[in-house]
């Protein structure tokens, strides 16, 4: 089941890359494993998956200890400042930075561990009330502010696009994200790079790849529906 799901996701990714003349190796598949038991993650690991996405600090800490050490954990959910210290030495990237104060705390904790944490700026691309992230305008300002923090490295942008039936409805938002990344890159801010674009989920990742995603975060498409307690 899981193996077959993975194969399907892989071939959809491959096809989207071909349609847009991109190399498959330019896009990272992040398997979003939130709420799923470690046995399922192990199964995905055994099938070759190394990048896993989680949205809760506690869950990352629990799973981190039980699974192979070469997994790359991605923090993709809203992060409270007082919890940064628990994951700073466990994750390879924090996708969900949407305030200077959070970036500052990541910087402090990263420095303590003598590491530089790659981060993405989360943009609320459709301006949805229920979503985290900054506006496009504030993303530029936030990048400029964060630039001087030397233990974090801004590597790009992340967005959670609206839930839609037809992925075509999100194409315009993916385009806007790509354009925003280009605009910020063009400002040549020190210490700011825009090569990562973390967009696209189960419902729309092929479209996101066509529009330039370098990371897609696929949960349901790999692990099946989530049951929330
Ligand atoms: C849950 C989640 C995903 C994966 O969603 P699916 O629709 O199950 O693929 C991706 N990104 C974020 C930030 C999430 O919280």
* Per-residue pLDDT tens over the stretch 154-182: 999 999 999 999 999 999 999 999 999 99
pLDDT above 80 for 38: yes
Judge contact between 210 and 169, C-beta under 8 A: no
* Atom nearest to 205 CA in ligand 1: 9
pLDDT above 70 for 229: no
DSSP assigned state of 211: T
**Which of these, 139, 95, 212, lies nearest to 87 by C-alpha position?**
95
Residue that has been written with the tokens 């929330």 in this structure: 228
| pLDDT class of 133 with cuts at 50, 70, 90 | very high
Against a cut of 0.85, is the pTM above it? yes
Which pLDDT score is estimated for 227?
87
**Is any ligand 1 atom within 6 A of the Cβ of residue 221?**
yes
Percent of the chain with pLDDT over 90: 97
The partner residues of 120 in beta bridges, in order of sequence, read: 156
* Atom nearest to 217 CA in ligand 1: 10
- The per-type count for the chain, helices as H runs and strands as E runs, is 9, 8
Judge contact between 41 and 6, C-beta under 8 A: no
| pLDDT class of 228 with cuts at 50, 70, 90 | confident
Buried b (16+ CB within 10 A) or exposed e, 9-19: beebbeebbee
Percent of the chain with pLDDT over 70: 100
* Atom nearest to 218 CA in ligand 1: 9
Residues 6+ apart with CB under 8 A from 61: 86, 87, 90
Q: How far apart are CA 81 and CA 71, in angstroms?
A: 24
**Is any ligand 1 atom within 6 A of the Cβ of residue 200?**
no
**72-75 and 192-198 as β-strands: parallel, antiparallel, unpaired?**
unpaired
**Which of these, 213, 118, 196, lies nearest to 161 by C-alpha position?**
213
Which pLDDT score is estimated for 48?
98
**Is any ligand 1 atom within 6 A of the Cβ of residue 55?**
yes
Which pLDDT score is estimated for 142?
97
Angle, in degrees to the nearest 10, between helices 136-146 and 100-112:
30
Judge contact between 209 and 20, C-beta under 8 A: yes
């Amino acid at each position: 089941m899981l193996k077959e799901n993975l194969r399907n996701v892989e071939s959809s990714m491959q096809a989207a890359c071909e349609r847009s003349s991109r190399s498959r190796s330019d896009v990272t598949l992040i398997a979003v494993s939130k709420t799923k038991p470690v046995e399922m993650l192990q199964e995905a690991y055994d099938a070759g998956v190394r990048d896993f996405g989680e949205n809760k600090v506690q869950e990352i800490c629990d799973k981190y200890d039980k699974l192979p050490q070469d997994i790359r954990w991605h923090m993709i959910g809203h992060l409270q400042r007082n919890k940064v210290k628990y994951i700073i030495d466990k994750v390879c990237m924090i996708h969900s930075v949407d305030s200077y104060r959070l970036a500052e705390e990541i910087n402090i904790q990263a420095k303590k561990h003598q590491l530089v944490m790659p981060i993405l700026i989360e943009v609320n691309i459709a301006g949805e009330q229920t979503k985290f992230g900054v506006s496009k305008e504030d993303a530029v300002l936030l990048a400029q502010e964060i630039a001087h923090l030397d233990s974090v490295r801004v590597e790009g942008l992340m967005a959670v696009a609206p839930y839609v039936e037809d992925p075509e409805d999100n194409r315009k938002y993916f385009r806007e994200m790509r354009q925003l990344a280009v605009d910020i890159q063009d400002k040549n801010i020190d210490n700011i790079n825009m090569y990562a674009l973390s967009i696209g989920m189960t419902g729309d990742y092929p479209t996101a790849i066509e529009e330039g995603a370098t990371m897609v975060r696929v949960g349901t498409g790999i692990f099946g529906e989530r049951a929330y307690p």
